[in-house]
Homo-oligomer: A and B are copies of this chain.
């Protein structure tokens, strides 16, 4: 009985039809989703051209996205590697192969090139990692090269059970023989590998129940070599002369097919046997990988390794706790949370910047739950908002096994060396490495300093140049003749547009237009742009500049702010993309001209350069907390004259990365009346994100102070009211808690009160707070001990947050931005602060009028008010009533996008104390360990 002919053509057609269905299924799930296969070719090898055409056709038929990247023969290794890396980075590419052989004139190391392919896209299975997995039997987690995989399918199609059979593989090539023998071995055949050195090859073959031949010699295996009843798979394709054919030749395999038909039970023909299967398996590898990617895309639970804590009692100081834990390498963390290598730029081993392109890749993934941490009105006793933010994420992650991200602000370096010390949380709830968090980080604040001060220098220098030059000279210098031609730069076109000048040839402008264009006529008295420095330097609070004779007496009084008070920091925190940042930076208003028109950074020619200086800063910084869950540290605008919240972009990326079942916990500066209100009305307004839960942090001690407890002086011993049980004071202080809960509820979001426990708090005191909080409308109130116990101390809180996040919420802003500026200010004062109304100074009213006339009415409001009271008077604790909020002045951050009324005087430059913390800071030159940071 002649053998069964194993038709690779038919079987592969069936597989391809099935793949087409799989692809359709995926597209039903996610519209537009298509498995992508990229084939990279170097040169123009004719056989390669044919193969690639077949692959592209098969991909197209399966509904896949086939890309043929054909590179010239003189492509260098580095160019090829760069191309591969681009494809590694492309989320639309699920499989990639390098068509071999390379047809190249350059020295290219093909082993290196194949190993540049991301093993997770290596659908040819030629990467070392895939080879090793196949060789060692880890089949569940590797790509099997296409031809061997196809051969196995063909064997199985005959109904043969490979397990326990004798298999002989003739050939040991990297692409067929070697992986084939491994595949059979791990499918439990007893495999013999033959090759050119094998003696008595015919005898060995004759032992085979399954015979796979891939040796590249035409018709070498005769019928007599085949065990009767064997399954014979022929991987050879050889061209032999055949006078009967028009071409004078025909294709045959490595097996004498007619003879084999007589002996074997099943044989593959050539052509139409193994060949079509190779292509089909390439498609299958790619489709399966796309399915895997889709699963991941739909955000399952991260496979993340947590860092167990070894708690000590009493809790050591912060730097000791921090250095006792070894952080994971950040590239490992990035991989664990689903970031791809090209999306991550390492800055050393423990910090990385994350690309904004993640947003595009994950655009269809639903956001996670969005949790904001805020507090009661702060007191010198502290409430531990940052610590709670970190502790809550440690609990949600390492203990409840949720995907979770903390998004925190980058601290200013100034206070790190002054009084405050570091700001990475505390105790067993910290961001690590703590010194990297507190120093330089990845240079974002430095970039802001550089950008801010370039703009400041440009303002004064422009005033100087305008004062010493005629319109014509000025214009000549601004639009110089270069190589005989004169041209406006793109940024100058923006100014022309603003001025309503439509001419594009610089020589066509009228004298008046030249003057309008060239002369900004900045009114020195209106300059609101200050120089900045990330140092506590009180001596720069008021200075006179321009006193060198070179400036010809054009001096000016001005001041330095701390860098985090720069509007550029606020822009960084609120921007939503590179293009958006470019526009915001360009429209920042630095002064008015003598006619009262706003002068912008773009008028000074700087919008582009500022963007270039900020191009790296815009990417969020990835770090981790003590238990190994991810933290974004990004932007830290002053919570006073700015909105005091970390960046929109970090939150957005984090919400995509955690996926629909995950959590992003972000902290708002100061108390709920300030940080939270701005979080909702400014940050959420610009981001379009909808929050799910407010966590309101309170401590018994701080509530006691709000309840009328005695003043606390730094250095002096703590009054006993704070160390002994005093339910009365606690309950009285809950007036502040009540108002802040109410403030959160104004926005329609459920509130969980977190009572950050101290060892001196009594159970009755804490229970009193819980009772009150629930009375006031909190969704829940729970006691936490994450400072002492890490995430384990905040699992109750985490569970409450999880439950609250499942509530339906009704988020809305406090006011409509279209309302007149005065009414918006009043809304905040009355509803949030509890004031009876507002009182605008003359200056404030004038400013409001000016901003209205300049077209800035519709910006949201960013109140600059003391954080130490709900009112404007820092001494008034609890929940003051019966006051009118005085508005001293009103300013605008047009680029950031808000108007900020000033309630009282705000210091924007801290000072150093007599003994700053730097006295204790040093570096061990041997271990390179930082000492004395806290």
Contacts and interface: CB of A to CB of B under 8 A. Distances in A.
Contacts of A545: 539-540, 543
A178 B919 contact: no
Tell which of A192, A199, A326 has the most Cβ of chain B within 10 Å. Answer: A192
Interface stretch (A347-355, A383-391, A721-729): A347-355
A133 interface: yes
Interface stretch (A227-235, A455-463, A640-648, A680-688): A455-463
Interface stretch (A96-104, A610-618, A886-894): A610-618
Contacts of A326: 78-79, 82
Contacts of A533: 453, 531, 533
Contacts of A166: 199, 204
A557 interface: yes
Given A81-B329, A538-B550, A612-B933, 19 more contacts: A78-B307, A78-B326, A135-B135, A135-B178, A135-B182, A136-B178, A181-B193, A188-B197, A190-B193, A190-B204, A191-B193, A417-B609, A450-B534, A477-B914, A478-B919, A491-B919, A531-B533, A539-B556, A605-B916
B544 A919 contact: no
Which 9 A-B pairs rank lowest in CB-CB distance, beginning with the nearest? A608-B922, A446-B446, A609-B918, A541-B548, A128-B132, A135-B135, A457-B537, A579-B925, A542-B548
13 contacts: A134-B135, A137-B178, A192-B193, A413-B450, A439-B613, A440-B446, A442-B443, A450-B535, A477-B914, A480-B715, A579-B926, A609-B918, A612-B923
A612 B921 contact: yes
Interface in A900-922: 911-916, 918-922
Contacts of A922: 490-491, 582, 607-609, 611-612
B190 A194 contact: yes
Interface in A172-219: 172, 174, 178, 181-182, 185, 188-195, 197-199, 204
A413 to B, nearest CB: 6
A461 B308 CA distance: 44
Of the four ranges (under 10, 10 to 19, 20 to 34, 35 or more), the interface on chain A belongs to 35 or more
A604 to B, nearest CB: 9
Interface string A518-542: 0000000000000101111111111
Nearest to A194: B190
A307 B164 CA distance: 53
Contacts of A78: 305, 307, 326, 328, 628
A56 B914 CA distance: 57
Given A305-B77, A348-B346, A172 B137 contact: yes
A535 B453 CA distance: 7
A147 interface: no
A550 to B, nearest CB: 6
A333 B182 CA distance: 35
A606 interface: yes
Contact of A347 (B348, B531, B546): B348
Contacts of A190: 192-195, 197-199, 204
A305 B541 CA distance: 54
Contact of A135 (B132, B163, B479, B547): B132
Contacts of A690: none
A206 to B, nearest CB: 12
Given A348-B353, A918-B605, A541 B536 contact: no
Contact of A440 (B137, B447, B541, B923): B447
A338 interface: no
A543 B541 contact: no
Given A192-B190, A538-B551, A128 B137 contact: no
A661 interface: no
A131 interface: yes
Interface string A113-142: 000000000000000110111111110000
Nearest to A549: B542
A77 B329 CA distance: 12
A932 interface: yes
A606 B131 CA distance: 56
A435 B609 CA distance: 12
For A78, A172, A930, the residue with the greatest tally of chain B CB atoms inside 10 Å of its CB is: A78
A533 B911 CA distance: 19
Contacts of A577: 925
A559 interface: yes
B197 A163 contact: yes
A79 B547 CA distance: 59
A502 interface: no
A474 interface: yes
A477 B913 contact: yes
A135 to B, nearest CB: 4
Interface in A130-158: 131-138
Contacts of A612: 435, 439, 921-923, 930, 933
A800 B188 CA distance: 66
A869 interface: no
Interface in A447-476: 447, 449-450, 453-454, 456-458, 460-461, 464-465, 469, 474
Given A443-B446, A453-B533, A557-B547, A345 B353 contact: no
A928 interface: yes
